Amino acid sequence: MLPRRGGEDREARLDPLGVGLLTAGSALLIVPLIQGRELGWPWWTHAMTAASLVAFGLFVVSERRGRHPVVTPSLFGRRGFVVGLLVVGGFYASLSAFVLVVNLLLQSGLAWTPLRAGLALVPWALGTAVATLASGAVLAERLGRAGLRLGLAVAVVGLLALCWTTAHRGGARLLFIPLFDFVLGNATPEEVGTGAGMLNAAQQFAGAIGVAALGTVFFARAETSYVAAAELVFALCAASYVLTLPLVGLLPEHAARKE
């Protein structure tokens, strides 16, 4: 009973080549990061990493020449969107790695039971709820891009102070709701759909890369000390947030308006 096509563009078609190249490139990059350390970095992990660069390069060529590209090409002419991809990538890669490492530290490193670890993270969950509500209902409208800077700053302070149960999660959640709106702040209505899909894909891809890459760093150091390994990952996450801070100033000044 649903219509054969949704939306306004009846000429839009799936780009199998573009989707295939993007999927292949992502898999070729992530699999070696996940399996490499455990297997001693055999030759095929390096070969797959090199092949992923080739696949991504072919994807770019395919997008430029294809009649129905996966991503609307005009989006990459907008500074806010390109910078936003970097912000989203750095933010979600660090956040995903942080969540993994905290749980590994509590349960494997400190030998806490799942119940004790869960109870320890209750303040973290409460901070999530409060910060998400504040960012969506108040801060994004009143502070604009400054709200994103505030969230990153709070996250950095929380990481450096190792207040991982409250401050980091609260700061991170200040970005969750408004971030995509600011990245798409100057996109046209025709670009918003593709742009939002691209940002969601970048979020998931960055999360996978963060878990794989920083997880590898963690396990390499955890052989001697779980605490030292966690501290190293926390420092790397904080550094990623610090590098992301100045990029926020290059995002559109106002968030995309919701009709």
Query: Could you read off the pLDDT of 98-155 as tens digits, one per residue?
Result: 888 888 888 888 888 889 888 877 877 777 777 767 665 566 666 667 777 777 777 7
Q: How far apart are CA 180 and CA 255, in angstroms?
A: 8
Mean of the pLDDT values across residues 76-103?
86
> Could you tell me which residues come within 8 angstroms of residue 98 by beta carbon, excluding any fewer than 6 positions away?
159, 164, 168, 233, 234, 237
CA–CA dist 21, 87 (Å, integer): 24
Count CA atoms closer than 13 A to 39's CA, side-chain side. Answer: 12
Rounded percentage of the chain residues whose pLDDT exceeds 70 = 79
In terms of average pLDDT, the best of 1-15, 29-43, 111-125 is 29-43
pLDDT band at 42; cut points 50, 70, 90 = very high
The pTM score is: 0.74
The greatest distance separating any two alpha carbons of the chain, rounded to the nearest whole angstrom, comes to 60
The residue-averaged pLDDT of 13-38 equals 86
- Indicate the pLDDT class of residue 162, thresholds 50, 70 and 90: low
Phi, psi of 55 (to 5 degrees): -60, -45
Q: What distance in Å separates the CA atoms of residue 146 and residue 120, rounded to the nearest whole number?
A: 31
Chain-wide mean pLDDT for the chain?
Answer: 79
- The fold of 75-248 is Growth Hormone; Chain: A; (1.20.1250)
Inter-CA distances, 232 with 16, 98, 134, 162, Å: 41, 11, 31, 11
Residue 64: C-alpha distances to residues 50, 70, 135, 241 (Å):
22, 10, 37, 32
Residue-level pLDDT at 52? 94
* Residue 35 vs residue 187, higher pLDDT: 35
Q: pLDDT tens for residues 230-257?
A: 888 888 888 888 888 888 888 876 666 5
Q: Is the pLDDT of residue 165 over 50?
A: no
Ranges of each domain in the chain: 15-70, 75-248
186 vs 232: which has the higher pLDDT:
232
Residue 90 binned pLDDT confidence (cut-offs 50, 70, 90): confident
- Predicted local distance difference test score (pLDDT) of residue 164: 46
